[in-house]
Amino acid sequence: MTKGMARPAGTRPGPQSFTTVTQGDPHWPSLWLEMADPPREIQVSGDPAMLVNPMIGIVGTRRATVRGLAVARKIAADLSVLGWTIVSGLALGIDGAAHRGALEAGGCSVGVMATGCDHTYPAAHRRLREQLDERGCCLTEYPAGVGPRPYHFPRRNRLIAGLVQGLIVVEAPIRSGAMLTAYLALDYNREVFAVPGPVDLKTSHGCHKLLREGAQLVEGVADLTNVLGLPVVADDPVEGVKPGSLHKSSSVPNQGSGARWILDRLDLEGVSRDRLRDRWPGNEDGWQEGMLALEMACLIRRLPGGRLARTIWLT
């Protein structure tokens, strides 16, 4: 491995340094050895040791619904708790939700990029990129100074498909990069899973097409473990990441608590805070304690117009 600076003149600010990983390096992903067209080398920001972890990919549309974002986030969190490293493409929508779900659960995530390592695309994910570099890594086959190009994304998608043991498509139109990734995964003999959705939603049509063609149906994490089993984690797992341990920010409040009363009456679209407060059976202190617990656990979010919504899909 060699190290190089990742801030050539004229590029967007990026990580301070990156690592070059080549085939034969101990951090080279073993599943890439099965690919007909693997990269010759990759640039990695963060910890390249992540690349030997058992990995599952989660992909989908950039124009995701609130429900789709919540589903991706929850599935990623639940898989991270079991010890899987979550792989996605750092894009807006489903990709970003999957990365965040893994990180919020205290797990690891790998972002596969379509730019040089000194770029972060989209720029809105700069903070997410920093978090990935802290708790996982980002990788690319493009050298520093290379920006996003349309033809880079299909090649990026083949790297995602080749890295993972299984690929989950959450929401995707029939013509989309997520569907391309799914078909690449099938070509590489990976397991492909799809989450069903409303029949009148275009972003459900790709998932339904995959299901008709034999993809595995996903209603919860058990559907994945029934097919893939539990991950086989290396003897020296990443420090601070323990399979089966759930980060406190993902824990669901106990039944009977004030926080659970509030959460049970919220949905993913948003409910009027004032109307919910009027129905609250307890005192003001109990309400504030419940709201504080939910916000600290990142289980709710505030929407315009004084509305509250869940951030996760509960099963």
Q: Where are the domains of the chain?
A: 13-23+31-228, 251-310
State the CATH architecture for 251-310: Orthogonal Bundle (1.10)
AA identity, residue 199: V
Is the CB of residue 210 less than 8 Å from the CB of residue 194? yes
Q: What is the pTM of this model?
A: 0.74
| Average pLDDT estimate for 200-216 | 95
CA distance 162 to 140: 13
Residues contacting 4, CB < 8 A, separation 6+ = 17, 18, 20, 144
AA identity, residue 34: E
Q: Which of 188, 143, 179, 228 is nearest to 32 (CA)?
A: 188
Is the CB of residue 162 less than 8 Å from the CB of residue 29? yes
Burial of 202 per CB tally in 10 Å (0-12, 13-18, 19+) = middle
Indicate the pLDDT class of residue 252, thresholds 50, 70 and 90.
low
Residues contacting 119, CB < 8 A, separation 6+ = 11, 12, 14, 113, 146, 147, 148
Q: Which of 31, 68, 37 is nearest to 176 (CA)?
A: 68
Is the CB of residue 310 less than 8 Å from the CB of residue 299? yes
Mean pLDDT of the chain: 86
Lowest mean pLDDT among 197-201, 208-212, 273-277, 290-294: 290-294
State the CATH architecture for 13-23+31-228: 3-Layer(aba) Sandwich (3.40)
pLDDT for the residue 11: 35
Burial of 210 per CB tally in 10 Å (0-12, 13-18, 19+) = buried
pLDDT for the residue 312: 61
34 pLDDT higher than 60: yes
| Strands 307-310 vs 300-303: parallel, antiparallel or unpaired | antiparallel
Lowest mean pLDDT among 54-63, 174-183, 274-283: 274-283
Is the CB of residue 63 less than 8 Å from the CB of residue 37? no
| Average pLDDT estimate for 136-157 | 94
> What percent of the chain lies above the pLDDT cut of 70?
86
Q: How far is CA 72 from the centre of its chain?
A: 7
pLDDT for the residue 314: 54
Indicate the pLDDT class of residue 23, thresholds 50, 70 and 90.
very high
> What percent of the chain lies above the pLDDT cut of 90?
63
The pLDDT tens digits for 221-232 are 889 988 998 887
pLDDT for the residue 92: 96
